[in-house]
Structure 1
Amino acid sequence: MHRFELRVYYEDTDLAGIVYYANYLRFIERARSEWVRDLGIDQRRMRDETGAVFAVRRLEADYLRPAQFDDELVVETQVTKITPARLELEQVVLRGAERLFVAQVTLVALDGQGAPTRLPAVIRQQMVH
């Protein structure tokens, strides 16, 4: 499991001072990017060498509790399933032990023309270890 820490800034909130719902998607995207980087995967090099890029195919989200300005949050990212063609993740946004947001995310690989392609084998191997 990967952990990504962040703080809620004023720009992340709405008039009520709570995190605007779409910003949770930004938080989990940042967490995925850092997770991939921490695995040693250079997404630019992957694109240049294999033509493949990651894309979100499906996302199911549950908003459980609101985060607020200046909260310290953690996004946990965990692989739940990996196949040659897709990667399924669970991402949870926490404030301490309190679950605020949970997403089931399906990632696929696309080739240079935007068509689905297999995830590079070396990338799959790095993600399961």
Structure 2
Amino acid sequence: MHRFPIRVYYEDTDMGGVVYYANYLRYIERARSDWVRKLGNDQNAMREAGLIWVVQRVEADYRVPARFDDELLIETEVLKVSPARLIMGQRVMRDKVELFRAKVTVACVTAEGKPQRLPAEIRALS
């Protein structure tokens, strides 16, 4: 399980000081990028080689709102790996309270959008 801390800044919130719903997707994207980097996957090198990560599907549940200045922890775990897709579960936590949960399916494609096999270090997670 990968853990990634984030603090809620004023710019993340609406007028009521509650995190704007779309920002949860930004938070989990940052956590996935950090996780991939720590696995040794160089996304810049991939892009230069003509491969990019794309999100194919997101299922999201908003449970409890986060608020301005909260310290959050994004947890990412691998649920399933196939040669061409990676499915991850992600949770946004405040202390031990789950605020947001998502199931995210990602894949690799060429710059033209043609599906490609996942990088070896990712396929090895299966």
**The two structures share one fold, judged by TM-score above 0.5:** yes
Gaps of 5+ in 1: none
Question: What is the DSSP-based 3-state SS (H/G/I as helix, E as strand, rest coil) of the residue aligned with 2:41?
Answer: coil
Tell me which residue corresponds to 1:45.
45
Alpha-carbon separation, structure 2, partners of 1:93 and 1:43: 24
Alignment of structure 1 residues 27-106 onto 2, 5 Å: 27-49=27-49, 51-106=50-105
- Deviation, 1:83, is 0.2
Cα pair 1:90 1:102 within 8 Å, conserved: yes
Tell me which residue corresponds to 1:113.
112
Amino acid at match of 2:120: A
Question: What is the DSSP-based 3-state SS (H/G/I as helix, E as strand, rest coil) of the residue aligned with 2:80?
Answer: strand
Question: What is the DSSP-based 3-state SS (H/G/I as helix, E as strand, rest coil) of the residue aligned with 1:76?
Answer: strand
Question: What is the DSSP-based 3-state SS (H/G/I as helix, E as strand, rest coil) of the residue aligned with 1:46?
Answer: helix
Cα pair 1:84 1:121 within 8 Å, conserved: no
Amino acid at match of 1:19: V
- Deviation, 1:111, is 1.0
Alpha-carbon separation, structure 2, partners of 1:93 and 1:45: 29
Cα pair 2:41 2:121 within 8 Å, conserved: no
Question: What is the DSSP-based 3-state SS (H/G/I as helix, E as strand, rest coil) of the residue aligned with 2:91?
Answer: strand
Q: How many residues align?
A: 126
Alpha-carbon separation, structure 1, partners of 2:119 and 2:3: 24
Amino acid at match of 1:11: E
Tell me which residue corresponds to 2:24.
24
TM-score, normalised to structure 2, is 0.95
Give the ranges of 4+ consecutive aligned residues of structure 1 lying more than 6 Å apart after TM superposition.
none
- The root-mean-square deviation of aligned C-alpha atoms, in Å, is 1.2
Cα pair 2:40 2:121 within 8 Å, conserved: no
Cα pair 2:39 2:121 within 8 Å, conserved: no
- Deviation, 1:53, is 1.1
Cα pair 2:73 2:93 within 8 Å, conserved: yes
Question: What is the DSSP-based 3-state SS (H/G/I as helix, E as strand, rest coil) of the residue aligned with 1:92?
Answer: strand
Gaps of 5+ in 2: none
More helix by share: 1
